Amino acid sequence: MLFSRYTHKFFVGSDVALYNSLRMKPVFLTRDKFKQVETFLGEVSDRQPVVVPFEVEQEVQELLKYKILIDSPEKDEKMLSFVKSKLSEPEISVCYFILSEQCNLACKYCFLGNNDKERRKNFAKELMSKEIAEKGVYFFLKQLESVEYNANRKPVVIFYGGEPLMNFETLVYVVEKFNSLKSEHKVLENIEFSMVSNGLLLSEKRLLQLRELNVSIAISIDGCDEASNAMRVDLNGNIVFPKIVKTLDIAKELNVPVSLSITLTEETIKRQSDVIDLIKKYNVKGLGFNIMMGDHRYPLPADYNDKAAQFIIDVFKQLREIGVYEDRIMRKLKSFAKAQVYFSDCAATSAGQIVIAADGAVGICHGCLSDRNYFNSCVDDLDFNPRENPVWQEWNHLSPIEKDECQDCEALGICGGGCPINAMGEHEGNTIHSLDERFCVHAKKTLEFFIGDLHRVVTGEDCSCRKIL
Ligand code: SF4
Ligand code: SF4
């Protein structure tokens, strides 16, 4: 009998938490019991039958049940192959329409490259035409219908850019087109629409129209004041924060729900309570925090990743009290609570999405728009099959479950992996297969928070949790 390779140990208050990163059910033992279990394991020999002492019998049973202890190393291999067998094949359910590759802003951290004159030149000048959009609608529909019908499936259409509102007409056209096809194509019955926008071109009329069309609106904002939003600038470098606030005011007045996409600048991180006030002021029910992407050309301070990860946890704790949904943590929490391995934190790394560029090129990730990397199809390619396409095949295997470097990581089960585009930019020589280190900090800290939080619920003791190295 031995500890599984996937077992990790944490101090949490006066207890020790034992946790198998693939089975994902923590077991709490007092420090004394833990020592007794360790002593017992130290005495187990291969040559003699295992006799579990009476004092730890119950604990050992519990640890065996959750694969924290195993009776032979082969059990780990079996567990890993079982989990890997659940990895799904490429299957498209998310479709990005890049209505305009151009943007009316040039945010300093834009990972698409809108802040860089040279990269900006690579973006299509023309907006997505209705002809391309219509072909895109049928392209996506064909993908949805190419797999067995499942009533629980929710196809998602995301309007993105550049700035999608630079091409509002086509946005409306696409939604209406999908809606008109609903009666003949039951795969579209649960279709959802959302738009990620900087909000500057959102007039009263457009807000009302989007509500009418059932398009969820996510507005990018980085905090509650000009300092936090100093990186959100227009093409001349002017801060646009007051304009975003004006849009939020109009949406509030019209009662049009909006969610927020908040990039955590260093300034935003310093203003935790102001961020919460902003969320409350605009009655926001859902939001997502974005950790800034590191780049070897523009490195972030060494402690940034840690601070950003801690900020998300601290704010999450407060938001759950008031029923506000923070997407980034909730995705991991669902996996932890259900003890189900989370394979991929992005639809691109499960090869579940297509991105339709303004000129009709089809790729897997909008982060590659400027160099058209990983765009190897187009809306005219009626034979497109993600299960045979080398790009979708390659991205389908980016899950941490398949990475050697991730096997000994405590966050393996809840992680889902970060953003391959960020991983590629972090260090010279990196590829999409490298680790997104920024994300690792977030995933590991979040796991410690979950285990500590579960311990709080079980024991009533609110104490921090940290991995025993
Ligand atoms: S790989 Fe990164 S940029 Fe691309 S869709 Fe995923 S999270 Fe976004
Ligand atoms: S990507 Fe990072 S956090 Fe996720 S499993 Fe791998 S090493 Fe752990």
Task: Return d(Cα 279, Cα 323) in angstroms, integer.
Answer: 11
Task: Please state, rounded to an integer, the average pLDDT across all residues of the chain.
Answer: 94
pLDDT of residue 4: 96
Q: Which domains does the chain have, with CATH numbers?
A: 2-85 (no CATH), 94-387 (3.20.20.70), 391-448 (no CATH)
Average pLDDT rounded to a whole number, residues 197-207: 95
CA 400–ligand 2 middle distance (angstroms): 6
- The pLDDT of residue 410 is above 90: yes
CA 395–ligand 1 middle distance (angstroms): 11
CA 196–ligand 2 middle distance (angstroms): 27
Average pLDDT rounded to a whole number, residues 328-355: 96
pLDDT of residue 377: 97
Task: Return d(Cα 245, Cα 239) in angstroms, integer.
Answer: 12
419 lines ligand 1 (CB under 6 A): yes
Task: Return d(Cα 108, Cα 292) in angstroms, integer.
Answer: 11
367 lines ligand 1 (CB under 6 A): yes
- Substitution site in 404, 405, 437 for ligand 2 pocket (most atoms within 8 Å of beta carbon): 405
pLDDT, tens only, 311-337: 999 999 999 999 998 989 999 999 999
Confidence label for 113 from pLDDT (cuts 50, 70 and 90): confident
- Substitution site in 421, 438, 439 for ligand 1 pocket (most atoms within 8 Å of beta carbon): 421
Average pLDDT rounded to a whole number, residues 54-63: 94
Who contacts 226 (Cβ-Cβ below 8 Å, separation ≥6)?
239, 241, 242
Task: Return d(Cα 171, Cα 419) in angstroms, integer.
Answer: 27
User: Which spans in 216-326 are helix H?
Assistant: 241-254, 266-269, 272-281, 304-321
Nearest CA to ligand 2 atom 5: 412
Could you identify the residue written with the tokens 């004006």?
Answer: 246
Query: In angstroms, what CA-CA distances link 218 with 2, 440, 469?
Result: 49, 26, 40
**Percent of the chain scored above 70 by pLDDT?**
99
113 lines ligand 1 (CB under 6 A): no
Average pLDDT rounded to a whole number, residues 402-410: 97
CA 130–ligand 1 middle distance (angstroms): 26
Ligand nearest to the CA of 409: 2
Could you identify the residue written with the tokens 């997407």?
Answer: 327
Task: Return d(Cα 358, Cα 98) in angstroms, integer.
Answer: 5
Query: In angstroms, what CA-CA distances link 384 with 92, 109, 158, 372, 375?
Result: 11, 33, 20, 17, 12
Query: In angstroms, what CA-CA distances link 379 with 101, 138, 182, 370, 376?
Result: 17, 8, 20, 18, 11
CA 368–ligand 2 middle distance (angstroms): 23
Who contacts 347 (Cβ-Cβ below 8 Å, separation ≥6)?
93, 94, 353
pLDDT, tens only, 165-174: 999 999 999 9
Confidence label for 105 from pLDDT (cuts 50, 70 and 90): confident
pLDDT of residue 114: 76
Q: Which residue in 436, 421, 419 sits closest to 374, CA to CA?
A: 421
Who contacts 305 (Cβ-Cβ below 8 Å, separation ≥6)?
291, 294, 437, 438, 441, 442
Backbone phi, then psi, for 218, in 5-degree steps? -115, 125
CB 164, CB 171: distance < 8 Å: yes
443 lines ligand 2 (CB under 6 A): yes
358 lines ligand 1 (CB under 6 A): no
Average pLDDT rounded to a whole number, residues 222-247: 90
Ligand nearest to the CA of 368: 1
Q: Which residue in 417, 281, 272, 297 sits closest to 289, CA to CA?
A: 272
415 lines ligand 2 (CB under 6 A): yes
Would you state the structure tokens that stand for residue 267, as one six-digit string? 């300034």
pLDDT of residue 296: 64
pTM for the structure as a whole? 0.93
pLDDT, tens only, 1-38: 899 999 999 999 999 999 999 999 999 999 999 999 99
CA 402–ligand 1 middle distance (angstroms): 18
CB 322, CB 366: distance < 8 Å: no
- Substitution site in 24, 399, 444 for ligand 2 pocket (most atoms within 8 Å of beta carbon): 444
pLDDT of residue 93: 97
- The pLDDT of residue 436 is above 70: yes
Confidence label for 103 from pLDDT (cuts 50, 70 and 90): confident
CA 215–ligand 1 middle distance (angstroms): 21
Q: Is 58 exposed, middle or buried (0-12, 13-18, 19+ CB in 10 A)?
A: exposed
CA atoms within a 13 Å half-sphere pointing along the CA-CB vector of 273: 0
pLDDT, tens only, 279-299: 999 999 999 999 988 676 667
pLDDT of residue 360: 97
- The pLDDT of residue 47 is above 70: no
Specify the range with the lowest mean pLDDT, choosing from 35-49, 64-78, 81-95.
35-49
CA 399–ligand 2 middle distance (angstroms): 9
- The pLDDT of residue 425 is above 90: no
